[in-house]
Amino acid sequence: MDVDYIIDIILRGLETMTPRIIASIIVLLASWLLVKILEKILYGVLRQVEMRYIDRILEIARVVVYGSAVVIVAAILFPETQAFSIILLIIGLAVIAMLLDVLRNLGAEFYVRSRGIIKKGDWIEVDGVFLRVIDMDTLGIIGETQRMERVFIPYTKLVNTIVVNRSTPIGLSIKVRVTAPATYSVEVVRDVILKSIKAVAEDLVSEPAINLASMKSDRLEFMVEMHIWNYRKLGSIVEELSRRIRETIPDAIIET
């Protein structure tokens, strides 16, 4: 085979591929520059958000940007290979589908953190469950009930339900449900609750509210709203309240 012929083929190949290679390099540089700009914007806008949360957003952004760049570069270098491009497109769509729940949860986490609705150490009520937030990880919050039970709640759940933050600047707002047999009158049960609360009065910020929540043929249900100074004493306050109520009404059920 003639050497000149081989060189001619190589030169023609280079002549064809050189613009594609240059375009590919430009795409890769543009994607790198875009990631750097996103870093500057996110670190500037999300100053009050935890650093690990911003890093996680950037990690997902890098995957999306660089992944898109690879697909574009492949299409530039091999425009005639349609099957290859289709496969890359399918892979890209599959990755997006896999990340859909992650992105949805990420958006929910951003809303919860940026709005300052919940912080570590807060006492919150979610769907009737009263717990203290002990950690906020990448997927949701980890809480602990008064009985030392661990509860995990995803961020997507928090933005789709009613969340009551019981922590206030001057203490903790709590609700205690007291259920007593209907053999006792409303006045008697209310008086027993009121006298029992006096035993923990020094731990309360203000006067408690005692409301009759429901009255049925077999039981009476009261809701007691209290505002305590120190959340660390929540367990002992509820325990003392329960003990004193049951001294007079042994069948009473006390729940928080």
pLDDT per residue over 8-18, tens digit each?
A: 665 565 566 67
> Of residues 65 and 50, which shows the higher confidence score?
65
pLDDT band, residue 25 (cuts 50/70/90): confident
pLDDT per residue over 121-156, tens digit each?
A: 788 888 877 788 888 877 788 888 777 788 888 888
Which residue type is seen at 14?
L
Which distant-in-sequence residues (6+ apart) come within 8 Å of 222 by Cβ? 177, 178, 179, 180, 189, 190, 193, 210, 211, 212, 213
The per-residue pLDDT for 20 is 76
To which residue do tokens 């500037």 refer?
44
Label residue 148 left, alpha or beta by phi (over 0 means left) and psi (-120 to 50 means alpha): left
- Let me know whether 52 and 145 are in one domain: no
Looking at the structure of the chain, the number of domains it has is 3
Rounded distance between C-alpha atoms, residue 69 and residue 36, angstroms: 15
Residue 147, domain extent? 123-165
- Let me know whether 66 and 149 are in one domain: no
pLDDT per residue over 154-213, tens digit each?
A: 888 888 888 887 776 666 777 788 888 888 788 888 888 888 888 777 777 777 778 888
Q: How many residues does the chain have?
A: 256
Which residue type is seen at 180?
A
- Let me know whether 13 and 103 are in one domain: yes
Q: Kindly report the CATH number assigned to the domain that includes residue 153.
A: 2.30.30
Of the candidates 165, 182, 199, which is a domain's last residue?
165
Rounded distance between C-alpha atoms, residue 31 and residue 28, angstroms: 5
